[in-house]
Structure 1
Amino acid sequence: MSGTLYGVGLGPGDPDLMTLKAHRLISSARVIAYPAPDTGESFARSIAAAIIPASAREIPIVVPMRVDRFPAQDIYDKAAAEIAGVLRAGEDVVTLCEGDPFFFGSFMYLFERLSEEFPTQVVPGVTSLTACAAQLQRPLTARNDVLTIIPGPLPDVDIRAKIEEAQAVAIMKVGRHLGRLKSLLKDMGLLEQAGYVERASLPGQKVARLVDLKAETAPYFSMILIYKGDEAWTLPPSFSS
């Protein structure tokens, strides 16, 4: 019998936010796979580092970190082939994924290559979306509100149209687009309602009202949350972080 492929969500970064199932699978794993940059340490591995068994075989999936989209198909093809060899030999493979595997998670690329041939289990994780809302101390959405998740790199005209249709908005992958997004939201009269969170749950976390944020660029792990529905939810006047 072949082994089982596990896609394990690790949560946004704080190891305490891993689920009990994630902890159990990782701490007993004989083979661990995880995404890694071509320079520096793997963020996914760093979240789980304290519970990875010293005897575990590790399969880093090295994806170069670039501003523009990197054609990673060959990299995931190669990683899937290596993992398939382990699974065919009867070993389980626990694949680490920051956040949730199916919410902008890298595990989805292995899933589409391997799940038809091998038993596969996806272990959900706390998403950056809910982690940012928790740190911002404002609910995301309620009742019949429409929550729209928007990638920051989209053109202004597309972002504007999506925001206008929604009652609650999350803009992800803010990064170098921060200044442009601030200008757009100011033009739409939404700057005062927008909250900003970067590196949610991590030691370098920052939480602010977007109108108070002086920076024009942000890290990749950053998010803008807006609520414009019927509930009387407002942002705190200030944040300590």
Structure 2
Amino acid sequence: MKQGIFYAVGVGAGDPMDMTLRAKAVLEQADIIVTPIPKAGGTSAAYAIAAQAADLSHAERLDILFPMQAHNDYRERLRSGVLQPVCAALDSGRQVAMVTLGDVSVYSTASYVRQLLAEKGYATQVIAGVPSFCAGAAKAQQSLCENSESLQILPAVHSREAVETALEQFDNLVVMKAGRAMAWLLPLLRERGLLEHTTMLRDVGMPSEYIGKPELEPYSYFTTLLIKGGDL
């Protein structure tokens, strides 16, 4: 029997209108849709977005637990554990798609799962999506980088020292997952005179979306800072 194909599918930042036609086509032909959830009984923002843009009624849904703040070792064990039912489905010839927010290539669990499956010899494909910082920059009508400016993308889970180093080495920064780090990020940006050159994105494309000055609370897990220092 011919094996199925695993698709890692980016569904965009939050607005179903931003999900690509290719993503819609792949999801509508998939037999199983793998859905990462942050906790047992939790919901999936990625699946909710996809369900508004594509007809998923025919597909079996497979929820897999992926805690956002789990220790790396524990998260890796979970990622390895997801392979058993996915491999069984692929071995039976079924097409499997795993949805992820934004784009698969940017801090995505789906990318790691795809890599593990590829290493096991399964056929895989990656379907691009619109990253939140690109969607947010478009809504803010802001360029991420221009001319010869450099751009660094990093998560705020790094230390203050790592962000300071990035500020010194790159013209512009995209700081993702910034919600829990705002207590030290805001003073740092203020000290460097960058606060007025920073745009905050929160929950882009979702009902709780905010795009504007970075001092408005609350800060969610999906908080991103666009820091423009190239013209200073």
After TM superposition, the score normalised by the length of structure 1 is 0.89
Pick the aligned partner of 1:202 from 178, 199, 206: 206
Q: Which runs of 5+ in 2 are unaligned?
A: none
Write the letter of the residue equivalent to 2:133: L
How far does residue 13 in structure 1 lie from its aligned partner after superposition? 0.9
- Look up the equivalent residue of 2:79 and give its one-letter code: Y
Counterpart amino acid of 1:101? V
Structure-2 change in CA distance of 1:65 and 1:172 (3 Å): closer
Match of 1:148 among 143, 146, 152: 152
| Equivalent AA in structure 1 for residue 35 of structure 2 | Y
Aligned-partner residue type, residue 27 of structure 2: I
1:42-67 CA-to-partner distances (Å, cap 9, x unmatched) read 11111112334323111111123447
1:139 and 2:143 aligned: yes
Task: Determine the C-alpha separation between the residues in 1 that align with 2:56 and 2:174.
Answer: 37
CA RMSD between the two structures: 1.7
TM, length-normalised to structure 2:
0.92
Matched, 1:16 2:20: no
1:47 corresponding residue in structure 2: 49
| Per-residue CA distance 1:97-147 (angstroms, 9 max, x = gap) | 111111111112211210131111101100112012112221100121110
Structure 1 residues 110-119 or 62-71, which shifts more? 62-71
What runs of 5+ residues in structure 1 fail to find an aligned partner?
232-241
The amino acid that maps onto 1:125 is: G
- The alpha carbon displacement at 1:70 in A equals 6.8
Displacement of 1:190: 0.8
Matching residue of 2:133: 129
Taking every aligned residue pair, what percent have the same amino acid on both sides?
Answer: 29
The 5 Å alignment of 1:12-161 reads 12-38=13-39, 39-50=41-52, 51-66=54-69, 71-116=74-119, 117-161=121-165
2:200 aligned counterpart, secondary structure: strand
What SS class does the counterpart of residue 107 from structure 2 fall into? coil
1:29–1:52 contact (8 Å) kept in structure 2 = no
Q: Is the 8 A contact 2:133 2:201 kept in 1?
A: no
What amino acid does structure 1 have at the position aligned with 2:24?
H
